Amino acid sequence: MAQSTSTWALKYRGATVEDLDPPPALSTKPTELISYALMNAYERDYSHLTVVSEDTRALLGYLNIPRLKQMLKEGAVGETDHVEKAMQRFQRSGKVYKVITMDTPLEELESFFTGGTSGSSGPQEFAVVTDGNRRFVLGVATKGDLEQFVKRRPA
């Protein structure tokens, strides 16, 4: 039986995103082949890849690997298509994004995942962890990472 989020919050005890020890983000470019991005995700067992600009390294969007596999199965994209055909783009204008850094408390991250954080548009699958100025992608944290942290944490 899954623990409720309120039970989880009791186990955080001041922990931050840094305590999750998120793996470094694996980024791909819009012009890379889907097959290459998929291979990189499989090699590292990642469920999401960030997509960055080739010129500026600015964060453009992400690839949701389970969604990508479904798109491949349905024939919506092929392995020789470019990542830009399957990526989910971030909306830049008119949208406020919650900044998640290594110093973000886990209670705040959990709220972000459940859609309770200001600026989010409903429940989120993952968080892009950046520096405070949002210039560098440092990692990706998922709700599963949070669940694993709670399981490892002594009562």
DSSP structure string for the chain: -PPPHHHHHHHHTT-BHHHH-PPPP-EE-TTSBHHHHHHHHHHHT-SEEEEE-TTT--EEEEEEHHHHHHHHHHTSS-TTSBGGGTPEEPP-TT-PPPPB-TTSBHHHHHHHHHT-STT--S--SEEEEE-TTS-SEEEEEEHHHHHHHHHHS--
Q: Give the tens place of pLDDT for each residue, 17-57.
A: 999 988 888 899 999 999 999 999 999 988 889 999 888 87
Q: Give the tens place of pLDDT for each residue, 103-155.
A: 999 999 998 888 876 545 678 888 889 888 877 788 889 888 888 898 887 76
- pTM for the whole structure: 0.75
